[in-house]
Amino acid sequence: MLLDDGLEYEYPDLSVRFHAQEGTAGLGGIVFGVRDTRNFYAAVVDSISQKVQLVRISNGRELLLAQASVNLKPVDWHSLRVQRNTIISKDFIEVVVDGVLVLSVEDQALGLGRIGLVVLGSSTVLFDSFHAVPLFSHRPLSTPPAY
């Protein structure tokens, strides 16, 4: 697991390009809501079995929140995007692979946390263009009126 240095998000919009090396397993993706190595979310893509998983690690125990098959495009590099958002006190996580929404799950167990990348097992996965944007802010869009 590779974590950022000092950034914490409650509702992130995260995206990355990834490439699994030829002839190796390619199980890797994005981690978010990371409190420590025993509490976080992970959205991972297995390029060999062409499956996407969203898991929550809570107190060191893994809980599979959702899994779906995905048809990876016949290109070397793929995109993975994860958004954690809220609408009227319902928190949900959406996972998009190569521009297609593949998972949408309601979950509120973990909140504010760090973000990063993960590779599982003996996989060899290359990453490029990791972007992170907060979706929710308490900052006003403009200054208050003078009256």
CATH of the domain at 70: 2.60.120.560
What is the chain's Cα-based Rg?
16
CB 81 within 8 A of CB 13: yes
Pairwise CA distance, residues 146 & 8, whole Å? 33
Number of domains in the chain: 1
pLDDT at 53 over 60: yes
Structure-token pair, residue 110: 């973990």
Domain presence at residue 71 = yes
Amino acid at position 135, single letter: L
Q: Is residue 84 part of a domain?
A: yes
89 in a structural domain: yes
In a domain, residue 14? The reply is: yes
**Which residues span the domain enclosing 95?**
2-134
Q: What is the DSSP letter of 89?
A: T
Per the document, the length of the chain is: 147
Q: 3-class SS at 10?
A: coil
Whether residue 142 lies inside any domain: the answer is no
Residue 25 above 90 pLDDT? Answer: no
The residue ranking higher by pLDDT, 31 or 136, is: 31
- pLDDT tens, position by position, 119-130: 987 778 899 999
CB of 4 closer than 8 Å to CB of 16: no
Report the pLDDT value the prediction gives residue 130, as an integer from 0 to 100: 94
- Classify residue 64: in a domain, yes or no: yes
Over the stretch 61-113, which tens digit does the pLDDT of each residue have?
999 999 999 998 888 899 999 999 888 778 899 999 999 999 999 988 888 89
Q: Rounded to whole angstroms, how far apart are CA atoms 42 and 95?
A: 10
> How many other CB atoms sit within 10 Å of the CB of residue 19?
17
Cβ pair 91, 107 in contact under 8 A: yes
Enumerate the β-bridge partners of residue 78.
Answer: 18
Domain assignment present for 146: no
Give the per-residue pLDDT at 102: 96
Of 46, 27, 21, nearest to 119 (Cα)? 27
